[in-house]
Amino acid sequence: MVKLSLVALLTGTGLVAALPSFLTPLTGRSSDGSDSLSVDRRATGGKVTSKALARFDNSNIEDGMGNGTDWYHLYLGNGTEAAGWPSKDKWVSFEDMFNNYKLQMYVACQFLNWRLPNNDIAEVEAIYDGIQMAADASGVDHRLILAIIMQESHGCVRVNTTNLGVRNPGIMQNHNGKAYCNDNKKLTTPCPAATIHEMIREGTSGTSSGDGLAHCINLSGNGDVSDYYRAARIYNSGSISKTGNLESNIATHCYASDVANSSSFCHGT
C-alpha cells in the first residue's frame, strides 16, 4: 500500500480551483421513481461481469493521459463516444487524480459541515488503500470509485449519515451500509482505517439492501465506456431517464459528466 508523504500532501494541486465547489450542495442520493431502469437491491460482493470493462488489477496508477485539467466540460447525452463522451484512454491517471483531489480531502469536513474535524493523514491513506482494495475485488476501475467518493462527500470520512427515505452512510453515501464515522453528530475521530475500507467496499460491491457501483455497471449493460458514466448516474439516482440522456430529469444533472471530467466538480450550469 502506498504511503503518502507529507511533502506530497502539501504540494497537491487544485485547492484554489476546488474551493468554490464546496459552496455547492452535495448531491446526496435521490430517487426519481418514474424512470425506466429499476435497480435490483439485494446483493453484496458485486463484480463487473463485462470482460471488456472489468479490471481486477488496479496496481498501475499511471494509467491515464497524465495530469488532467481543471477545465470543465459538461457532457450531454447518453454517455457513449458517439455522443461525444471520452473514451477510457482519455481519462486522467489515478495517481494524478488522487494527488489533485488530496487537498480537497484534507479540508472537506470543515467545508461540508461547520466544525466537523477534518481528515488526517492516516484517514486519507485509508481512502487510497480502500479504493485500491475495493477496485481489485470488484473489477471497478479505481478512478470511477474516487470520482464517486468526491461527488458524494468530497472525501470527508465524517460525512453525516443522511436519510431521505434510504439511509446513506459513509464517504460514498452508500445504500444502508454498516460503516460510518458520523451518525447525526455522533462522530468517530479518528475514523478507523477498517471502517473507511468498509465504506468504500459497500459503495463499490454493494450492501445487503442496495447495489454498489459494480452492480450499476452490470445493469447499464452496454459493454462499452458508457457503462461507467451510466453507472455513476444509476448509483446516484437509482435509474436512468427514459431518454437515455444522463443529464435529464434530475436536479444533479452534472453528476455523470463529472466522472468523465474528474478534476472538477459541477460548477453549476
Ligand X SMILES: *[C@@H]1O[C@H](CO)[C@@H](O)[C@H](O)[C@H]1NC(C)=O
Residues that bind ligand X (CB under 6 A): 13, 40, 43, 46-47, 49, 67-71, 73, 77-78, 80, 82-83, 91-92, 113, 160-163, 184-185, 211, 214-215, 218-219, 244, 261-263
The residue (of 190 and 244) whose beta carbon lies closer to ligand X is 244
The residue (of 20 and 122) whose beta carbon lies closer to ligand X is 20
Helix (H, G, I), strand (E, B) or coil at 182: strand
Packing angle, helices 142-153 and 94-112, rounded to 10 = 20
Closest approach of Cβ 211 to ligand X, in Å? Answer: 6
Cell numbers for 27: 448531491
Show Cβ contacts of residue 138 under 8 Å, excluding neighbours closer than 6 positions. Answer: 46, 47, 48, 204, 205, 212, 213, 214
Packing angle, helices 213-220 and 226-237, rounded to 10 = 120
Closest approach of Cβ 125 to ligand X, in Å? Answer: 20
The residue (of 52 and 70) whose beta carbon lies closer to ligand X is 70
Using alpha carbons, select from 184, 229, 180, 177 the residue that is nearest to residue 203. Answer: 177
**Interatomic CA distance for residues 110 and 94, integer angstroms:** 25
Closest approach of Cβ 226 to ligand X, in Å? Answer: 7
CA dist 58 to 10, 211, 228, Å?
Answer: 25, 21, 16
Chain position whose Cβ is nearest to ligand X = 218
The residue (of 34 and 71) whose beta carbon lies closer to ligand X is 71
Closest approach of Cβ 128 to ligand X, in Å? Answer: 17
Closest approach of Cβ 99 to ligand X, in Å? Answer: 7
The residue (of 13 and 31) whose beta carbon lies closer to ligand X is 13
